[in-house]
């Protein structure tokens, strides 16, 4: 059993109280934190699907793990093409989104006032990347 001096006990209780207060008064709403985690996982899987081809394709060693991605690539022929420049570019952009999501979550956990702006910027990246991809998918430019 560890015996603390009164000042050590007070210091420890203050730290615990600060941690509890920090989590109770969130800088980011819980749904935004969940969105950032979810987006990070999905983007990581998406990047790994495109970068680890042909292992992630049907019949590959990771094909069963990426079955939903394979179904999607049956529909989106641009996504299915491993040499498509748009798919490669969006993969590179997603690495930035992943890093920014993680930074936003760390900043929120630490109580930094920059967490909200970082989360907003990352989500804006997701929005514009998705809008661009949809525009190219719905009406592909000639050539």
What is d(CA 129, CA 62) in angstroms, rounded to the nearest whole number? Answer: 27
The ranges assigned to domains in the chain are: 28-138
What is d(CA 35, CA 21) in angstroms, rounded to the nearest whole number? Answer: 22
CA angle 103, 108, 112 (to 5 degrees): 95
Q: What is the DSSP letter of 57?
A: S
pLDDT (tens digit, 9 = 90+) per residue, 41-90? 999 999 999 999 889 999 999 999 999 999 999 988 878 888 888 888 88
Does 137 have pLDDT greater than 80? no
Does 7 have pLDDT greater than 50? yes
Q: Give pLDDT, residue 102.
A: 98
**Confidence band (pLDDT; 50, 70, 90) for 2?**
low
Q: Which of 55, 121, 59 is nearest to 93 (CA)?
A: 121
Mean pLDDT value across residues 10-34: 71
pLDDT (tens digit, 9 = 90+) per residue, 82-134? 888 888 888 888 999 999 999 999 999 999 999 999 999 999 999 998 898 88
Q: Give pLDDT, residue 20.
A: 46
Candidate ranges 4-8, 20-24, 74-78, 124-128; pick with highest mean pLDDT: 124-128
**What is the token pair recorded at 27?**
């800088």
Q: Give pLDDT, residue 39.
A: 94
Instruction: Name the pTM for this structure.
Output: 0.74
| DSSP string of 97-137, one letter each residue | HHHHHHHHHHHHHHT-TTHHHHHHHHHHHHHHHHHHHHHHH
Other residues' Cβ atoms within 10 Å of the Cβ of residue 16: 10
User: b or e along 93-123 (b: 16 or more beta carbons within 10 Å of the residue's beta carbon)?
Assistant: bbeebbebbebbbebbbeeeeebeebbeebb
């Amino acid at each position: 059993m560890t015996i603390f001096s009164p000042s050590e006990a007070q210091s420890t209780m203050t730290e615990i109280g600060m941690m509890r207060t920090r989590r109770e008064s969130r800088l980011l709403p819980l749904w935004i934190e969940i969105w950032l985690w979810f987006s990070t996982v999905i983007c990581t899987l998406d990047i790994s699907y495109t970068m680890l081809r042909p292992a992630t394709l049907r019949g590959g060693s990771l094909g069963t793990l990426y079955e939903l991605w394979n179904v999607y690539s049956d529909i989106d022929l641009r996504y299915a093409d491993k040499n498509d420049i748009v798919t490669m570019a969006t993969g590179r952009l997603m690495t930035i989104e992943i890093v920014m999501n993680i930074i936003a979550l760390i900043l929120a956990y630490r109580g930094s006032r920059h967490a909200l702006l970082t989360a907003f910027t990352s989500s804006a990246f997701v929005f514009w990347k998705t809008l661009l991809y949809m525009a190219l998918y719905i009406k592909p430019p000639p050539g």
